Each structure stands twice: as structure tokens, then as C-alpha cells.
Structure 1
Amino acid sequence: MRVHGTHPYNAEPPPSALAGQVITPLDAFYARDHGRVPVVDPAAWRLTVDGLVERPLELTLDDLRAGFPERTVVATLQCAGNRRAGLLAVRDIPGEDPWGPGATSTASWTGAGLRDVLARAGLTPDAAHIAFQGCDVSTEMSPPQPFGGSVPVIKATAPEVLLAWAMNGEPLPPVHGAPLRVVVPGWIGARSVKWLTRVTARATPSDNYYQAVAYRLLPADPGMNGRAEAITLGPVALNSAILSPGDGARLAPGRTEITGYAYTGGGRAVARVEVSLDGGSTWHPADLGTSPGPWAWRHWRATADLPEGRTTIAVRAWDDAAATQPEDPRTVWNPKGYANTSWHRVTVTCGP
């Protein structure tokens, strides 16, 4: 893992660890934390469901396992800062980790459907948002507060959203949120709150720092602040990346396999992936692998004849609404370095 920080622990796998792995092994799944990993006693842990509900609940892990149908969903999680390093190459972003293309991973998640738990509690007509709170405490704000966030009720009650206790068929590891986390497929990873302790039905979005202040797309021009609305990040935008060969690799000239991933959230699907060897003047279609589910990435592969010398390989994807990725990272630079969806490029050298 490439470790960006230890307290909080932030780490991503090298691209080679994701290549060819449609389901990411647990030891290669990226980690994004906002405080120290909490030590939670599963026997003492409780989940509170409250707010705009008719029947507030307090549930143990056994209550969840025994009282609700078990569901399994294959879903990709992606950090909002995935590929921030490409924006840092445009302009500095102080205080933010230089995530590469590895701040995204895919797992098979098992747990109870959030909508089943909310149905047991009984949402009132005024409930429009579902807020989550973990027991990890962040010191990024004063006073420190637990990490949290929210999603609209229409997403929270969708069948794919889970309260997960297992990952790839194994108990949820501590670094990934044990004993219970939310999994919100198709939305930025920050909404899949780990070490979950509270689910609250609200009329308005969460007022937690990480919903109300952080994870918002600010205008690139500071003069626009106060005049342009910051965009609260939710569904993941269309993105793709090259996993192999790696940037800076030395290769033999000739036929070369190029592989990577493409992913989009918000209920859309990846429809096409293209690779260019000449700065986008011409494009070659890549072969899309079978998707492990509607909420997961697509791995793709292409072959190309690489000449001697240096070649820059670029990739772009298209979704089923005919949207594609912007060419230049300068057009999507923003002060927090979120949502770099520009063409991903690697440069390789062929020959001695």
C-alpha cells in the first residue's frame, strides 16, 4: 500500500494490485479515514435509529443478523479525492493527500438492507434525508466531532444500500468499519460511513462537518466564493484509469496489453472505453469485461503496437447517457482536489 498518512490512516494500493482483480482483496482495498481507527467492542456496540421515525430502535449486531433478511451487493467505493495527484500537477492543493488512481476498490458486501431497518422504524412523512454517524472522532474541526454524513431518503431506501457486517465473505475488518458500516453504492465513499453507531431520519441534510462543509466542490476562482454555490458531492462522476502498464514503465517495443478500470455512479452504466496513443487524435476501442454487478466498475483491456521511445497512453470512458470525460485536468481543478475525471495518462518507454 502507498500510505499517505497514519493518523488518520489513508492508503491506496499500487495500480498493479488492482489490475485483473474485479473483486479487490481485503489487503489491497484502499483506506480513507478522518480520525484514529476506533477500538469497538462488538458485544457492547449498539446501533441507534432515531429522528423522524415512529418507532426508535436500538439494535445489537445479533438483532440485525437475526431480524432482517441478509443481502449481498457487489459495489465499488471511490474516494472523492481519487486521482487528486493529477490536479496537484496543475496547481498546489495544500493539506490534501496526493491520491493516485488507487483510491477506489470493489468488494462483495453482506448485511441488512437499510430500507428494511428504516421500514421497521417507520419513517414519518417529513423524513427527507437519512444521516449516519460513526464513532471515529475527527480533529479537523474545533471542537472535534464524530464523522458523519447523509443521503436523501430516496437513495437510503433503495435496495442496494446496506448496513454491512461482512466484506468479501469475511467479517468486516476494523480498518474498514467493523462491526458495522453503511455501504451506499454509486456515491462517494464518504457517504458509506464506517464504525456506524447512529442512523437518524431528518427533514434536512446532516449538519455534520463532512456533509455541511467538507466534500463540497468549490469554484476554482476564489473570487467566485459567495457568488457561486458549492456543490455537495454525492453520486460518483464517470471516471477511468490505466492500471497496467504503470507510469514510467520500460517495455519491449511491439504488441502490448493495456488494462484498467472504468466506473460511474448515480445509476448510470459504463458504455464504452477508448485508448489513445497520440494525444487524442485517434482512439481505439477497448474490450469491456463483464461487470460483477450494476454498482461495480468495469475492467477493460486493449492491445496496441508501441514504437521505440516514449509513448503517452490516454484513456477515456463514455456512459450510457453519452457523457464522457474532459481532456484536460486544468478544466476540473478545484481548491480541494475532488472529482478529477480528466483523461488518465501514463507515459512508458520502449526499447533499451
Structure 2
Amino acid sequence: MPGLSAPSDYSQEPPRHPALRINSEKPFNAEPPRSALVSSYVTPVDLFYKRNHGPIPIVDDLRMYRVSIMGLVGNAKELSMEDIWRLPKYTVTATLQCAGNRRTAMSKARKVRGVGWDVAALGNAVWSGAKLADVLELVGIPKLSYITQAGGKHVEFVSIDKCKEEKGGPYKASIPLIQATNPEADVLLAYDMNGKPLNRDHGYPLRVVVPGVIGARSVKWLDSINVIAEECQGFFMQKDYKMFPPSVNWENINWSTRRPQMDFPVQSAICSLEDTDIVKDGKMTVKGYAVSGGGRGIERVDVSVDGGKTWVEALRYQKGDVPYIADDIRSDKWAWVLFEANVDVLQNAEIVAKAVDIAGNVQPENVEDIWNLRGILNTSWHKVHVRIGHSKM
């Protein structure tokens, strides 16, 4: 595409924050220390997890950049950034989470394939841009459309970046047309993150943000938007990011038997303590995050200091000046909540957190029950072990 190019090697990568824990150098995949997640409701851009499949694209000339909208539409268009900037600007606070978040813990039960993420492959940001529903109206698709006149039922996003899984082709993914054309779904073509233009790692100059859905569908470095009859047939829709039962292995897997994963389940993790930690005394404040997909708010977070035998309810909060109520209009429906609970630990202990969303969905206790060969969606109870000592690790 004129104005935007995908390098063939990693010699022009952007600078990154030195505190990031690097899980893969090429392509670059990294997450912040877990403690950084609970230091602010909005995650700083430099400490927002980085998930890539190839070298980071480069904008050569923003004035030349265009995003194509084509396929089963009334009239195909190419939009410049000026065209997109002229559309109404919306701002949405939303948490993006890699489907492989907490994969490392799942691999301890049985080996899985994929980047070894700890608990910080997610972040909460303030995204600004044009609503996809407004953009699709420009090519003749009304809001709240299930199907176009030409038979389009899905909207595919194609990136400029190239990845080995697509045999050097572009990364791509899709969402249903009804989600894309629903203004209440808040799907954005985003150009700002936390009040500033996207940086290269996060999709400059334009990316998709699909709130409440696994991060794999929020395509970065947008090249084209295709309205298609069936869901995207790309690798990351058809042969990855699908949830299989524990009985399926690499010898008996049949990818066609499962739908591509979209919404993420209810999730929480403790961020103020490492998996194994030493504390100076028995009084502490346990802090972490909780989030659920599909815009479902967090009804409750429970914390236990005896491995799940007894529980206390944690305080939940988002913005400091507004009390958090899960389904209140003043709460950010697509964003995580942070939680904290003051507890007494009188002896060596297993501290546990679990969350419940407004639909009554609760995290499963054991990782073995949700183990899957790709190690996605580890939403089991998050457990850390502490012992009383004279110094903290």
C-alpha cells in the first residue's frame, strides 16, 4: 500500500520500555511486570502488552495512506486519514486481552504451544477514532445490518503486516456484520490511544478495536476492510484461537469442529504479589484486575487466604471519582475493574482470586478442567503462594 509498508526483517523495530518482560524477540512479544497493571486504571502505552506476528510496519507517507473498503458492498471506497478524521470522533475505554494470557500457568498442567504469557498480556486504554458503523454507511450499509444486499454477513480486516503463519501473507480476522454495524458495540477504527496518536507497536496509523473480544480480532496497521459472505478464512480465524476440550491433541484435532473464539470469559488475576512471594508481616492489601468479555461487568471479586476454603469480597473500582456499579451507565462497560482486599495472613498461605460477572459466570477452580492444546483462555482461579519472612523477594 502506498504510504505504509511492511519490512521484511526486524532491523527497523521501534524502541520499547526496558521494564517489559520479553517473551519473544522476533517477532516482538512482551508484557509489563504484573505490578504495573494495578498502578493505574488506564495502562500507559509503553507498558501495554505488545503482541506481534512479524516486523512492525512503517508509515512512509501518511498523506498517501488509504484504507480500502470493498467486497459485497454497494460502492467500494478508499478512505484517507483525512476522510476518517472528518467522521464523528468517539472515545471508548476498553481492555484488550490476548487469548493466550496466563498461558504459562496452563502449560504447567500439560504442555501447550504458544507464546509463554504470564498474567499481564492485557491492558486497559482509552481508544479514539471513527465508529466502524459510520464508516460502513459510507459504502451503503445501514446500521444494524445482518446482511448486505449483495449477501455480505461478515466484515474482514486485513493488515499490512506479513506473518509466517499466513505464508508471508497479511494478518487478517473478521467479525459478524451485525456487530460491525451496531453503534452500541463500539467497534472503532482507532487512530488515538490514551489521547495521543497510536504508536507503531499499537497499529499506527489506523487499527481496529473490537471491545469485549479477544485481542486477535482487533487488527492493527489496517490495509483493507472486506465485506464477505462467510467468516474470514485466514489462519488466525480457522487454525488458531479456537477452544478445544482437554481430550483433543495435535494428533486428533479437527479445526473445523470449533468456531473462532470471540468474547473472552470472565477473568481475574492478583498483581500485587508474585506466584511465590515473601511478605514481612501478615497484614497486606491484595490487588489485581478482573474483566469479562461481551461488555459484561464484574459483579464480584472474591479473595481467599486459605486456598479457597473461605472468602472475603474485594473492593472494585475503575475511575477514582465514580463508584463502580457493574451495569451503571457511568461505568466503562468494556473495561476491566481493579480490585483490592485487606487481609491477614498469619502463616504460609495460598492466596486465591476469582471473579463473577453480571451474567453469573464464574472462573473455574482448576486449570486442568479447561486445558486446551493451544493454551488459550486460562481463566482458572489465580493462585499465589506467600510465606511470612523478614524480606520481600
TM range (shorter): over 0.9
| Residues in 2 aligned to 1:49 and 1:146: alpha-carbon distance in whole angstroms | 16
The corresponding residue for 1:347 is: 385
The corresponding residue for 1:323 is: 361
| 1:139-154 equivalences in 2 (<5 Å) | 139-141=164-166, 143-154=167-178
Q: Which 5+ residue runs of structure 1 have no aligned equivalent?
A: none
Shift of 1:224: 5.7
CA deviations over 1:51-72 (Å, ceiling 9, x no partner): 1111111011111102x10111
The corresponding residue for 1:104 is: 122
Q: Quick check: 1:76–1:104 contact (8 Å CA) kept in 2?
A: yes
CA deviations over 1:259-295 (Å, ceiling 9, x no partner): 0000001131110000011121111100111355110
The corresponding residue for 2:162 is: 137
Shift of 1:20: 2.9
CA deviations over 1:207-240 (Å, ceiling 9, x no partner): 1111121111233223763499224110111100
| 1:14-163 equivalences in 2 (<5 Å) | 14-41=33-60, 42-66=62-86, 68-94=87-113, 96-123=114-141, 124-125=148-149, 126-141=151-166, 143-159=167-183, 160-163=186-189
The corresponding residue for 2:227 is: 201
The corresponding residue for 2:339 is: 300
Q: Which 5+ residue runs of structure 2 have no aligned equivalent?
A: 1-19, 142-147, 319-323, 325-330
Asked whether 1:171 is paired with 2:197, we answer yes
| 1:3-22 equivalences in 2 (<5 Å) | 3-22=22-41
| TM-score, normalization by structure 2 | 0.86
User: 1:112 corresponds to which letter in structure 2?
Assistant: A
| Residues in 1 aligned to 2:254 and 2:207: alpha-carbon distance in whole angstroms | 35
CA deviations over 1:115-154 (Å, ceiling 9, x no partner): 000011113232211000000100124x321001000112
Q: Quick check: 2:245–2:370 contact (8 Å CA) kept in 1?
A: no
CA gap of 1:245–1:130, structure 2 versus 1, over 3 A, is same
The corresponding residue for 2:237 is: 211
Q: Quick check: 2:307–2:349 contact (8 Å CA) kept in 1?
A: no
| Residues in 1 aligned to 2:263 and 2:80: alpha-carbon distance in whole angstroms | 30
CA gap of 1:227–1:252, structure 2 versus 1, over 3 A, is closer
User: 2:379 corresponds to which letter in structure 1?
Assistant: T
Secondary structure of the 2:300 match is strand
| Residues in 2 aligned to 1:121 and 1:226: alpha-carbon distance in whole angstroms | 37
| Residues in 1 aligned to 2:178 and 2:214: alpha-carbon distance in whole angstroms | 16
Q: Provide the identity percentage.
A: 41
Q: Quick check: 1:20–1:299 contact (8 Å CA) kept in 2?
A: no
| TM-score, normalization by structure 1 | 0.95
| Residues in 2 aligned to 1:56 and 1:228: alpha-carbon distance in whole angstroms | 31
Return the match for 1:242 from 250, 265, 270: 270
| Residues in 2 aligned to 1:151 and 1:227: alpha-carbon distance in whole angstroms | 18
Q: Output the aligned Cα RMSD.
A: 1.5
The corresponding residue for 1:270 is: 298
User: 1:51 corresponds to which letter in structure 2?
Assistant: G
| Residues in 2 aligned to 1:158 and 1:88: alpha-carbon distance in whole angstroms | 38
